[in-house]
Amino acid sequence: MLRSNDLTNQPILQPRTRGIARPLRVRVVAAEELSQDAIDRWGEIQDADPALASPYFSPDFTLRVADVWPDIRVAILETGDRQVGFFPFQARGRSGHAVGERLNHREGAIVERGIDVHPVELIRLCGLRDWRFNMMPASQEAFAPFHQSHWQAPYMDLSAGYEAYVADHKRRHSGKWFATLGRLQRKLEREVGPLRFMFHSEEPRDFETIIRLKTEQFQHYNNLNDPAYMALFRHLLATPTPRCSVGVSVLHVGDRFIAGQIAVGSQSMLGPVVTSYDPALARYSPGSLLMIKACEEAAARGIVTYDLSGGEQAYKSIWMSDADQLAGGYVATDRLTAAQRSIEAAYQRRKYHLLNHGALGPERRLGRAVRDIRGRMPTRSST
């Protein structure tokens, strides 16, 4: 078991309370060493700030990851005898990463409002040489000087209910989208059979079908081919809590699976991380039909935000109500590491530009078109 790194005598900033400067200290502990009082306090800070509503900011997510992956640590920020913040991270040597890495769609510090964090000092006192992030909300302004890239994270606003979302969508776009999906649903039911939707299926076969179809669709560069990633995914599914759970929504025609999604959520937010469908029925847009039903049921259950996460997929611009701003970058504690990370970040930005917008962009778009056509062709198998 990792031992606590007690740095309680190390001030990292000077928060002010009623005009009096009080030193802020940090203790770094293994995630499994967190006391129940610390876990409860973490939850209180998260609940008090809507910007921290994501399940990835919850103590439950960090603790579940720590059950499966080693080197999950938490920096506890304290002033006097009060805990005012938490900073979870995954250590790889002296490099820090987001807890859960590729499964984590929101990264950063969970800090009480009014507390200003000095990132370089925080990372140094965590025993790290650098900390990298990919999906940090731009609202965490203390980290703004360390941003290397920015992008949007679209979401659907369900706070006023599903019907209000649909009405707003029609005002911003038109009624054609929902009318088209209504026709596709009627056509599917007429030609194949009546639909059956489950907001959360506890049938293991449905989870495995979603994973299998997605893996077949993207055989390379697929997180689902990583055993460690899948071990974490399955553990999150098996250990739900109100703050962080994994749901499996599925759409069937009779007993036939036609679409499904796996989403990470909480009592107020839901975010799909894997969506797949039966390619033999692609002409009916089963993924979009599933999305409609999942959103309608989510709104009825009190979900206010349907998080579409980052990315440039065209469907997200259709569904979104608005978007959060996310940032990627790094915090380095010395100039040499900063120079190394800067070169790496420049390379990754250049690679992304070439793959999506440059010389290789047309080939990627052609590949997507070919896969789409292939998915619409009849197949012998019926999942």
For 61-109, how does the pLDDT look when each residue is reduced to its tens digit (9 = 90+)? 999 999 999 899 999 999 988 999 999 999 988 999 999 988 999 999 9
Q: Quote the pLDDT of residue 217.
A: 83
**What contacts 369, CB < 8 A, 6 or more positions away?**
none
Q: Quote the pLDDT of residue 13.
A: 43
Matching CATH number, 5-150+325-333, of 3.30.70.20, 3.40.50.1950, 3.20.20.70, 3.40.630.30: 3.40.630.30
Q: Quote the pLDDT of residue 4.
A: 37
10-residue mean pLDDT series, the chain (383 residues): 37 37 80 97 96 96 94 94 95 91 92 92 94 92 91 93 95 89 95 96 95 84 82 94 96 94 95 94 95 96 91 80 92 75 62 52 54 48 37
Q: Quote the pLDDT of residue 368.
A: 57
Concatenated DSSP letters of 75-103: EEEEETTEEEEEEEEEEETTEEE-TTGGG
Q: Quote the pLDDT of residue 207.
A: 96
Q: What is the pTM of this model?
A: 0.83
Q: Quote the pLDDT of residue 312.
A: 64
Q: Quote the pLDDT of residue 348.
A: 59
Q: Quote the pLDDT of residue 346.
A: 61
What are the residue ranges spanned by the domains of the chain?
A: 5-150+325-333, 159-303
Q: Are 234 and 221 in contact (CB under 8 A)?
A: no
Q: Do domains 5-150+325-333 and 159-303 have the same CATH topology?
A: yes
**Residue 176: CB atoms within 10 Å:** 9
Q: Which CATH class is domain 159-303?
A: alpha beta
Q: H-type helices in the chain, by residue range?
A: 36-47, 59-68, 119-125, 162-172, 176-191, 204-217, 227-238, 286-300, 314-319, 335-356, 361-376
Q: Quote the pLDDT of residue 322.
A: 92
